[in-house]
Structure formats: structure tokens, C-alpha cells
Amino acid sequence: MWRGLVCLLAAICGPAHAELWAYVDGAGTAHLADRQLSGAYNLVLGAPDSSKGRVPGKQDGSRHLLTWLEIAPEVKAVQPYLREAAAKSGVDMALLKAVIAVESGYKISAVSPRGAIGLMQITPDAAARYATLLERLQPAEKRLLDPRTNVLTGARMLADLIKRFGRIDAALAAWNAGEGAVRRAGGLVPPIDETQAHVHLVLELYWTLLQNSMHASAQHLTIHSDKP
């Protein structure tokens, strides 16, 4: 799934006269600059001088993914549940959409080799921890195949992880590698290749969705420029 999303995001950017580099950090702050200030920044608009070769840019490549997220029937089918989950949990709807896209590609019946089920790929153990009393009347394996229950459960879980670790990136790392791995890393993303790739891709897609919708969940905006 990650490879497929990377291909969509890595289309070649067309010529432009200006550049916009950006990233969303683990605290949900969007950083913008007119040049790449560090390796964390990604090109989201424009292209460098053509004499230096063309560089993959996010805007054109991400447009394909954003179009799919807007028109795909499987995405539209869960939109009401995403709105409900965001309202009840306080987790940004764009972040929920990014997690689902990376975790399951919006396949309701997806089951991983590790036994994670449904849209957000939740294990039965995690489902038991975050289930309501009413939800516990059904076996976890069955209720996680219900998209509404799955999304609401996942939103409660992600909200709890964000509260525990105080950072979106650490919460996503705990989702992928477990809370113990994040604690052993001092509350940061642990040095696990799979986990780092997972966190980077979710945040990259989250930023793309925020950029597209100008969503208010990027609570702060920092613009860096040498220009007066």
C-alpha cells in the first residue's frame, strides 16, 4: 500500500516560477518556506531551476490521489463515519483519512497477516481496549468489519495515543509499533525503518490534505523567508 501511494505522490512537477516547500511536524504545525531549509521540507509547489534538472514535486502528483479521495465510491461510503468520528473524538478528519489511506487503502474487509482488521487495520486486542459496552456484545473480529464501528474505534484509539504522547508523530508510531517502542525511544518515533516510513507517509498525506482544503486543524503556520 505504501508503494502505491508513493507512486501517486511522486509524479513530476511541471515548470513554475516560484517554489513552496513545506512540512507538517509531529505537533500538527504547518511550516512553509520559499526554499528547502532542511531535509524535513518537501517541495509542494513549483520546481527548481530547470538547468539543475527537474525534481519530483508534491502538488501535481498529489492531485491524482486527492481526486481519488474525492470521487472513489469506497471513500464516499465512509465519509459520514469520518465526520462522526472526528466530531466525537476531536481527531482531525484529514488525519483520519490519511491513516485509512495508508493502512488499508479504504478496503473495508482488509485483514493483515498480523490479524489487523478493516479500514484502519485494528487488532482485536486494541478493539477490546477501545470498545464501548454496546460494542463488546459482538466479537471483535465481527464488529471491526463494520466500517462505522471500525472508524469510531480507530478514532478513539488515535485520540488516546495523541493525548498520551502529546505529538501526532509519536501517536502514529505507537499505532504502528506499539506504545512500548515509543516509550523506549523517549516518547519519539523509534528508529524502526517500517515505523519511520509509516509515520512519514501518513504525515505527508495529512499535509497534502490540509494544503488542499486549508483545514483549520493545522493550528499554527510558520512562514520562513529571507525576503523583507
Q: What is the β-pairing status of strands 20-24 and 30-33?
A: antiparallel
Residue 60 CA to residue 117 CA, distance in Å, equals 32
**Three-state SS at 25:** coil
Q: Which of the following is catalytic: 103, 135, 141, 204?
A: 103
**Which grid cell sits at 106?**
479504504
Annotated catalytic, 103? Answer: yes
User: Cell 516547500 appears where?
Assistant: 21
Longest Cα separation, the chain = 64
Give the whole-angstrom CA distance, residue 13 versus residue 114.
37
- For residue 43, the SS3 value is strand
**Catalytic residues, which ones?**
103
